[in-house]
Amino acid sequence: MTTKTIHSKIAIIITAAGSSTRIGSGIKKEYLPYKNGTVLSVCAQAFLNALAGEKGIEITDFIVTCPAGGIEECIKALGDVAPEVRITEGAETRQKSVYHGLLAVTGQPDIVLIHDGARPFVSRDVIMNALEAAIEFGASVPGITPTDTQKEIDGEGFITRHLIRSNLTAVQTPQCFEFAKLLEAHGRAATDDREYTDDTEIWGAYCGRVRVTPGDVNNIKITYPADLEILNRVQDDGGLCD
């Protein structure tokens, strides 16, 4: 857990513009009931709780992206948290949705934190450590060492390279960056005919290195039907099980 005093203006962007086709629940995964609200509202509240009382931090913008035409539904899913955020429509890819969110920022933040709306278990430690590293190094992402040995394969399914597990990391969110530089990088990425998997890849292409901070095995992203069992278990037991 970070113990340093942080002084920074920050923007928060929570992405929730995807279609949630893989979850198979019939309900958009960010809008699934969780605790006293939804996955999305609990996710947003986690950031408000983490930053509450941090005297050196000013939140200039708190933005949530939603599917096109889905602002009213997003407001409903946010519930009591809705007045704390501004909702903007996303796009057909995560990259474009994040860019929409960046363009919607009206304050002048130093740092932007970008988080998946389907990660409601994010902890204060993960948030604050990533924020602190972004302030120091310009860009950061939480990561954990994969538990399984990783291999690189070719198009025919044969192993081509044996990767060293200790040199690998499975990245999570929030991914944190100097705002002005990331906005410029996204603008350039929007016209370079490439599709980027996340914002660290865009930063790496146009800005430089990204510092990896400690992630959390509990900071999972609700994606597949099996993940609903975890969500239900947390509601029943009050916490994730090891």
pLDDT value at residue 90: 96
pLDDT of residue 241: 40
Per-residue pLDDT tens listing for the chain (242 residues): 445 667 899 999 999 998 765 555 578 999 999 989 999 999 999 999 999 888 899 999 999 999 999 999 999 999 999 999 999 999 999 999 999 999 999 999 999 999 999 999 999 999 999 999 999 999 999 999 999 999 999 999 999 999 999 999 999 999 999 999 999 999 999 999 999 999 999 999 999 999 999 999 999 999 877 787 777 776 655 555 44
Residue showing tokens 């000013």? 58
Question: Helix, strand, coil: what percent of the chain each, to 5?
Answer: 35, 25, 40
CA distances from 158 to 152, 155, 161, 162 (A): 8, 8, 9, 11
Q: How many Cα atoms are found within 13 Å in the side-chain-facing hemisphere of 50?
A: 26
Distance set, CA 194 to CA 12, 91, 226, 230 (Å): 25, 16, 32, 35
Q: Measure the CA–CA gap between 2 and 126, rounded to whole angstroms.
A: 9
Report the interhelical angle of 179-189 vs 199-206 (nearest 10°).
90
Phi and psi angles of residue 194, each rounded to the nearest 5 degrees, phi first: -120, 155
Distance CA 130, CA 20 (A): 26
Strands 170-171 and 139-144: antiparallel
| Residue 114 bridge partners (DSSP) | 13, 175
- Bridge partners, 13 (sequence order): 63, 114
Structure token digits, residue 39: 């996955």
Upstream peptide bond of 174 is cis (omega within 30 degrees of 0): yes
pLDDT in the model for residue 46: 97
